């Protein structure tokens, strides 16, 4: 029943929200009499506030329902893994021609560096004849399952802005990440698990910090939830000592009762959201440890992935990613740190550290593709692999001096990414770089193009998935982006 006293409690923010929804729906109703959908539209708008994670239909019939994004933080060298340049070998140790340096800024290269040939052996693999080096012997056997993008380019030459660019569409802070856009657009399938989960390995979080899985200006429920494979999967998930599950249940009940009273008084839908969040957190205390536990996986799975339960590793994270998408988690983001092969020490040497990093990911990521495939999940799961930029065909000469180890500097003009499953063609190589791998000569695609393609596979039109903020509609790809139709089925 309407009680005028309620009006006294209406805050400005609350009034505006109510007006936007209530009056907006009312106006829509008057403008379009007899339009059958108007009630549903109003309900849907309300539903987004009350239940932000409720599943929503995509713009068009999707090819993929879920995404696993494997990000090699630090930027792996395309010249040692996928982009085979025999001509560069001939130029090894020769001085770099000035034409490649004019007007360019590098993160560390100063003066005139020397060229550096590929430090790996390459072979064409499978029926598709894709080039994969011997750094990735397992992955080489499934080259026919994936599509390579050889001409990806970015415009950021430092890790943090470049990572932000790859994951939020902008090199500056404040924009939502791809996973947030996806859960905002499609909601989450599993009632008991977050829709956007982040797993990190390699001993460090990415340089750009947690903003690469942040929700920016979208409501904060859409941000990624970081899970750990050591200790509590989510921090402070376990009940504190002396508080058992039953007591916790009673506590949540009590809090929800207070909130329900509060809602009766103020009618603020945000209060209902809060009640729902408490309930979800309570359910997650059971469901998250369950899905994050790999101890019960059979032995052949551990052998396939090379996993050791209880440790933090890329292998464990790959297995977890499979378990999460199996449970309907929409977007799983993996970060593996340690790919910044500058050659300052053995761990960052192209011929030492890089090879060790390759060994760490080779078996797990190959196992992930094969395991998704045999479970029939690869058809509807899009797997994306890449770094934030590439590495130079020149040998790094930090401060103009000879380096103790072989390394390569950051390179934005061309790098390699691959995608698999989720409506991506098999065995296609799109894009080609020049003889030394400096510029793309064909099939040049941008970071925004990659993002548009990811959304496209999920049935989302990147130009239509927008959010009104600061007076204009924003989108992941801002004013750019073109779906890379060449690799899409």
Binding site for other proteins (CB under 8 A): 55-62, 137-138, 141, 189-192, 300, 303-304, 306, 326-328, 346, 349, 351-353, 355-356, 359, 363, 366-367, 370-371, 373-376, 379, 425-430, 442-443, 459, 485-487, 489
- What whole-number distance in Å separates Cα of residue 130 and Cα of residue 427? 7
Q: Which two tokens stand for residue 365?
A: 């990521």
**Residue 468 beta carbon to other proteins: minimum distance, rounded to whole angstroms:** 19
Nearest Cα to 146, choosing from 483, 334, 442, 383?
383
Q: Please, what is the minimum distance in Å from the beta carbon of residue 170 to other proteins? A: 22
Closest distance to other proteins from the beta carbon of 372 (Å): 10
Nearer Cβ to other proteins (57/249): 57
The CA-to-CA distance between both ends of the chain, in Å, stands at 55
Cβ proximity to other proteins, 87 vs 351, nearer residue: 351
Shortest gap between Cβ of 131 and other proteins (angstroms)? 13
C-beta of residue 353 within 8 angstroms of C-beta of residue 74: no
Minimum CB separation from other proteins for residue 459, in Å? 6
CA dist list (Å): 218 to 11, 167, 307: 22, 15, 36
Comparing CB distances to other proteins, the nearer of 1 and 61 is 61
Which residues are CB-contacts of 231 (< 8 A; sequence separation ≥ 6)?
none
If the CB atoms of residues 262 and 373 are measured against other proteins, the closer one turns out to be 373
Q: What DSSP character marks residue 431?
A: -
Report whether 354 contacts 80 (CB < 8 A): yes
User: Among residues 55 and 309, whose Cβ is nearest to other proteins?
Assistant: 55
Least separation, in Å, of the C-beta of 308 and other proteins? 13
d(CA 10, CA 15): 6
Separation between Cα atoms, residue 82 and residue 139, nearest integer Å: 11
Residue 160 CB, nearest approach to other proteins (Å): 28
CB nearer to other proteins: give 119 or 317: 119
Query: For residue 17, what are its two tokens?
Result: 């929200």
Distance CA 170, CA 372 (A): 31
Contact partners, residue 486, CB within 8 Å, separation at least 6: 425, 428, 430, 443
Nearest to 106 by CA among 448, 443, 390: 390
CB 487 within 8 A of CB 151: no
Nearer to other proteins, 226 or 433 (CB): 433
Count other C-beta atoms under 10 Å from residue 114's C-beta. Answer: 15
Rank residues 178 and 304 by Cβ distance to other proteins and give the closer one. Answer: 304
CB of 194 to other proteins, least distance (A): 14
> What is the b/e burial string over 74-92, where b = at least 16 CB atoms within 10 angstroms of the residue's CB?
bbbbbbbbbbbbeebeebe
Minimum distance from CB of 368 to other proteins (Å)? Answer: 11
Comparison of 91 and 483: residue with beta carbon closer to other proteins: 483
Structure tokens at 128: 């598709």
Which residues on neighbouring strands pair with residue 133, listed in sequence order? 122
Closest CB to other proteins among 74 and 353? Answer: 353
């Amino acid at each position: 029943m309407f009680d005028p006293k309620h009006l006294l409690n209406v805050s400005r923010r609350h009034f505006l929200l109510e007006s936007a929804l209530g009056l907006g729906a009312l106006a829509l109703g008057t403008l379009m009499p007899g339009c059958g959908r108007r009630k549903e539209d109003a309900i849907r708008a309300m539903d987004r506030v009350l239940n932000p994670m409720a599943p929503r239909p995509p713009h068009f019939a999707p090819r993929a329902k879920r995404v696993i994004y494997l990000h090699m933080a630090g930027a792996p060298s395309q010249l040692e893994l996928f982009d085979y340049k025999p001509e560069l070998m001939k130029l090894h140790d020769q001085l770099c021609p000035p034409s490649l340096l004019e007007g360019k800024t590098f993160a560390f290269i100063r003066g005139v560096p020397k060229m550096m040939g590929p430090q790996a052996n390459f072979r064409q693999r499978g029926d598709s004849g894709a080039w994969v080096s011997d750094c990735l012997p397992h992955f080489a056997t499934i080259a026919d399952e994936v599509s390579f993008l050889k001409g990806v380019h970015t415009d950021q030459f430092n890790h943090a802005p470049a990572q932000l660019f790859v994951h939020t569409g902008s090199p500056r802070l404040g924009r939502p990440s791809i996973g947030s856009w996806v859960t905002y657009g499609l909601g989450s399938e599993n009632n008991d698990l977050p829709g956007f989960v982040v797993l990190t390995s390699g001993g460090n979080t990415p340089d750009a910090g947690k903003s690469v899985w942040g929700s920016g200006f979208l409501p904060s429920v859409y941000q990624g939830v970081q899970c750990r494979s050591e200790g509590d999967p989510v921090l402070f998930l376990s009940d504190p000592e002396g508080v058992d599950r039953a007591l916790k249940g009673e506590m949540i009940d009590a809090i929800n009762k207070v909130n329900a009273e509060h809602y009766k008084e103020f009618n603020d839908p945000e209060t209902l959201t809060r009640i729902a969040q408490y309930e979800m957190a309570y359910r997650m205390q059971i469901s998250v440890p369950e899905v994050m536990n790999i101890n019960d996986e059979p032995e052949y799975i551990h052998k396939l992935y090379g996993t050791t339960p209880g440790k933090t590793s890329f292998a464990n994270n790959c297995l977890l990613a499979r378990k999460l998408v199996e449970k309907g988690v929409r977007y799983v983001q993996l970060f593996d740190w340690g790919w910044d092969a500058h050659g300052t020490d053995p761990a960052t040497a192209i011929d030492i550290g890089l090879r060790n990093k390759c060994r760490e990911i080779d078996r797990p990521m190959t196992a992930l593709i094969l395991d998704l495939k045999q479970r029939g999940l690869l058809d509807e799961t899009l797997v994306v692999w890449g770094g934030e930029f590439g590495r130079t065909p020149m040998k790094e000469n930090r401060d103009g001096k000879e380096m103790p180890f072989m390394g390569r500097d950051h390179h934005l003009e061309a790098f390699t990414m691959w995608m698999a499953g989720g409506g991506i063609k098999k065995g296609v190589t799109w894009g080609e770089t020049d003889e030394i791998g400096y510029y793309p000569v064909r099939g040049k695609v941008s970071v925004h193009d990659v993002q548009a393609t990811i959304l496209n596979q999920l049935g989302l039109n990147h130009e239509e998935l927008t959010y009104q903020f600061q007076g204009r509609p924003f989108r992941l790809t801002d004013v750019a982006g073109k779906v890379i139709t060449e690799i899409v089925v």
